[in-house]
């Protein structure tokens, strides 16, 4: 949450900062601001609202300088106002700071600074942070050098409790930007005659692909032709320079009106990329070398725990069915946010997975750390290469889905399920699954991208349905077995981007209470592909229709009975039940998308949300 960018080079900073902020806007879009430095003069422009508001402000009165910092905010401390927008200045007005994270001991520091005569202009923890660094620097009796600024910076960092990804500069020490991270992502971008500090590589792909993913407690300084990374204690620290895998084009919308639609349509390729090189027909199994576990070690696993949040949690729920059905291995899914505070009994043969697209979700990261602290082998399933979860886990599997920018997760969901299917296949093949069954799973997976493409061809039909039902008060989503998590995910997508009330339930729970909600104003979306409970689903459909509830059914092709009973049908290709969740999820993503567009909602930047939840 919140996107930050720092630039030092030879070009004008403001256009680079604004372009970077536009690309970071998915991280938070309450307010935005920039500060630049030229010949000892700092200029700040900031305002509430989207980057477009900031761009207008900047156009009227452009701030100059080839050093600058920029921020796009997701409010934590303080309302969405111009004053609360970043950058924040210290008491002297010479230090500018941007921050992603939360300072927990802010009140204590604020009190202390107030007693020293400090005056605060905002309600934010970040301004207090800026004042603290400035105070320490101003109290330092020595010369005002880069070294003394860095010392003050480090001393201030050691006094704050909480999380931060920050960047700052000071008028008295021009030609350097300082940055640090703890719990919030921060990346150093290495250019030629220019360097960057950013929350996400997508902001600087136009300038460089060479990056260092900073670790917690790293402190970095960047100059035009140099950079230095040290520990908080000031000692040298090891780091690795990496090349960003994806291209600028991949991180752009191209001809699509929204990132979400682009990412929905990228699913066939994303699924294929997730499987590439990981299926072995000779051995009828999946190869997941990144797990760093031998077959013997995998066979000794007695229980699996999958931890995740939001959409990734729903993928985990599909994973639970997959691993239990294909590998007969007890599996549980936990809200990462609950796991970290629960004292869940886990024996030593439990293998834990943290599933996260961003690899930065604070709850999932905390759950991973808690699991590791208890001595469990903890693996990651992540999309963002070099993310904190990917780096801190004992091994794992990258999704290779490409950048996902739309706040509503789409291709990451189906990619996560694909990876979990590979995992279930691998675990199954060293247990109960025969070679012939393994081959069946492989061929179902190989056919999947083409089948997803067939579902994508239904986009216009689904847009018509969305228009037909756009006035509905709310929606109920129903599914059983593999389709229950899809009901939850369909409801989450719809409420996130269209703000329609939506709930997902196991179809079988209908008669235990939910049926009271059935009426003409509340359509039900029933996910009922060909599987062992198809006939039971038909009975539930009849029960809804008997109470005048409109029904949109997502069903496999050739099921005439569904067409007769339901008001509308979205037909998905026939497939084995274990790949049906992917095929059922895609039309629900499209339904949510088209409905939100119809209602005029801001699909890629829904109300109150941010892509990556890095605060608790």
Residues annotated as catalytic are 2, 611
Q: How far is the CB of 159 from ligand M6R (least distance, A)?
A: 30
DSSP SS3 for 302: coil
Q: How far is the CB of 361 from ligand M6R (least distance, A)?
A: 3
For residues 82 and 45, what is the distance between their CA atoms, to the nearest angstrom?
10
Residue 414's Cβ-count burial label (10 Å; 0-12, 13-18, 19+) is: buried
Nearer to ligand M6R, 284 or 612 (CB): 612
Q: How far is the CB of 364 from ligand M6R (least distance, A)?
A: 5
165: which 2 tokens? 């990804």
In the block, tokens 């349905």 appear at 465
Nearer to ligand M6R, 298 or 492 (CB): 492
Residue 243: enclosing H or E segment and its boundaries? strand 242-243
Contact 81, 53 (CB under 8 A): no
Nearer to ligand M6R, 36 or 364 (CB): 364
Nearer to ligand M6R, 510 or 613 (CB): 613
Nearer to ligand M6R, 63 or 310 (CB): 310
Nearer to ligand M6R, 273 or 612 (CB): 612
Q: Which residues contact 308 (CB under 8 A, 6 or more apart)?
A: 315, 316, 333, 335, 336, 354, 355, 356, 364
Q: How far is the CB of 409 from ligand M6R (least distance, A)?
A: 4
Closest-by-Cβ residue to ligand M6R is 310
CA angle 478, 481, 482 (to 5 degrees): 90
For residues 486 and 526, what is the distance between their CA atoms, to the nearest angstrom?
10
**Which ranges in 140-208 belong to alpha helices (H)?**
146-159
Q: Which residues contact 441 (CB under 8 A, 6 or more apart)?
A: 326, 421, 425, 428, 433, 578
Q: How far is the CB of 485 from ligand M6R (least distance, A)?
A: 13
Neighbours of 273 (CB within 10 A): 19
Q: How far is the CB of 526 from ligand M6R (least distance, A)?
A: 22
Q: How far is the CB of 311 from ligand M6R (least distance, A)?
A: 3
Q: How far is the CB of 225 from ligand M6R (least distance, A)?
A: 35
**Which ranges in 520-565 belong to alpha helices (H)?**
534-546, 560-565
Nearer to ligand M6R, 356 or 580 (CB): 356
Torsion sign, CA atoms 393, 379, 266, 413: negative
For residues 562 and 429, what is the distance between their CA atoms, to the nearest angstrom?
36
Reported for 214-217, long-range contacts at CB under 8 A and 24+ positions apart, including other chains, are 214/179, 214/181, 214/186, 214/187, 214/188, 214/239, 215/181, 215/239, 215/391, 216/181, 216/182, 216/183, 216/388, 217/180, 217/181, 217/182
Q: How far is the CB of 602 from ligand M6R (least distance, A)?
A: 14
Among the listed residues 228, 226, 219, the one whose alpha carbon sits nearest the alpha carbon of residue 168: 219
DSSP SS3 for 405: coil
Residue 361 is classified by DSSP as -
Nearer to ligand M6R, 465 or 613 (CB): 613
Query: Which stretches of the chain bind ligand M6R, using CB under 6 A?
Result: 309-312, 356-358, 361, 364, 407-409, 496, 612-613
In the block, tokens 């699913």 appear at 267
Among the listed residues 455, 597, 604, the one whose alpha carbon sits nearest the alpha carbon of residue 527: 455
Strand ranges, E, within 171-226: 173-182, 187-190, 195-198, 210-213, 218-222
494: which 2 tokens? 């719809």
């Amino acid at each position: 949450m919140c996107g930050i960018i720092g630039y030092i080079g030879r070009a004008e900073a403001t256009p680079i900062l604004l372009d970077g902020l536009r690309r970071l806007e998915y991280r938070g879009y309450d307010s935005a601001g920039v500060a630049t430095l030229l010949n000892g003069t700092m200029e700040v422009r900031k305002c509430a609202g989207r980057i477009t508001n900031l761009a207008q402000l900047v156009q009227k009165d452009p701030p100059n300088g080839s050093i600058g910092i920029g921020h796009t905010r997701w409010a934590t401390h303080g309302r969405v106002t111009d004053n609360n927008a970043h950058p924040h200045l210290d008491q002297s007005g010479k230090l500018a700071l941007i921050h992603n994270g939360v300072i927990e001991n802010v009140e204590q520091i604020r009190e202390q600074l107030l007693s020293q005569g400090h005056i605060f202009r905002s309600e934010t923890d970040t301004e207090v942070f800026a004042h603290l660094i400035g105070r320490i620097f101003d109290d330092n009796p020595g010369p005002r050098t880069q070294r003394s600024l860095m010392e003050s910076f480090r001393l201030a960092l050691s006094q704050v409790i909480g999380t931060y990804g920050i960047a700052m500069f000071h008028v008295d020490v021009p030609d350097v930007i300082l940055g640090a991270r703890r719990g919030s992502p921060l990346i150093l971008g290495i250019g030629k005659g220019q360097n960057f500090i950013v929350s996400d590589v997508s902001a600087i792909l136009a300038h460089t692909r060479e990056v260092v993913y900073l670790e917690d407690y790293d402190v970095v300084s960047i100059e035009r032709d140099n950079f230095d990374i040290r520990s908080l204690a000031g000692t040298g620290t090891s780091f690795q320079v990496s090349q960003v895998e994806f291209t600028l084009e991949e991180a752009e919308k191209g001809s699509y009106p929204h990132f979400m639609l682009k990412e929905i349509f990228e699913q066939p390729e994303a699924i294929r990329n997730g499987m590439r090189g990981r299926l072995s027909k000779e051995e009828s199994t999946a190869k997941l070398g990144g797990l760093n576990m031998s077959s013997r070690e995998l066979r000794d696993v007695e229980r699996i725990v999958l931890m995740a949040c939001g959409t990734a949690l729903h993928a985990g729920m599909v994973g639970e069915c997959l691993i239990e059905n294909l590998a007969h291995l007890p599996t549980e899914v936990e809200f990462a946010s609950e796991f970290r505070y629960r004292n869940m009994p886990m024996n030593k043969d439990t293998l834990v997975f943290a599933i996260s697209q961003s690899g930065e979700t604070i709850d999932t990261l905390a759950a991973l750390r808690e699991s590791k602290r208890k001595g469990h082998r903890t693996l990651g399933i992540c999309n963002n290469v070099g993310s904190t979860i990917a780096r801190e886990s004992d091994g794992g599997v990258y999704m290779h889905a490409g950048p996902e920018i739309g706040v509503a997760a789409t291709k990451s969901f189906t990619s996560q399920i694909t990876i979990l299917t590979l995992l279930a296949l691998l675990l199954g093949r060293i247990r109960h699954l025969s070679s012939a069954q393994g081959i069946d799973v492989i061929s179902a997976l190989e056919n999947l991208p083409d089948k997803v493409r067939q579902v994508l061809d239904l986009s216009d039909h689904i847009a018509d349905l969305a228009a037909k039902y756009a006035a509905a008060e709310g929606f109920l989503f129903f599914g059983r077995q593999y389709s229950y998590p899809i009901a939850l995910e369909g409801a989450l997508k719809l409420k996130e981007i269209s703000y329609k009330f939506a709930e997902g339930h196991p179809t079988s729970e209908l008669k235990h209470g939910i049926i009271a909600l059935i009426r003409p104003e509340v359509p039900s979306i029933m996910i009922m592909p060909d599987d062992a409970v198809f006939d039971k689903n038909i009975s539930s459909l009849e029960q809804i229709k008997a109470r005048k509830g409109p029904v949109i059914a997502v069903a496999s092709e050739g099921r005439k009975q569904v067409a007769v009973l339901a008001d509308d049908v979205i037909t998905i290709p026939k497939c084995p039940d274990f790949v049906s969740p992917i095929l059922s999820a895609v039309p629900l993503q499209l339904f949510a998308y088209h409905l939100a567009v119809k209602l005029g909602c801001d699909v890629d930047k829904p109300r109150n949300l941010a892509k990556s939840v890095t605060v608790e």
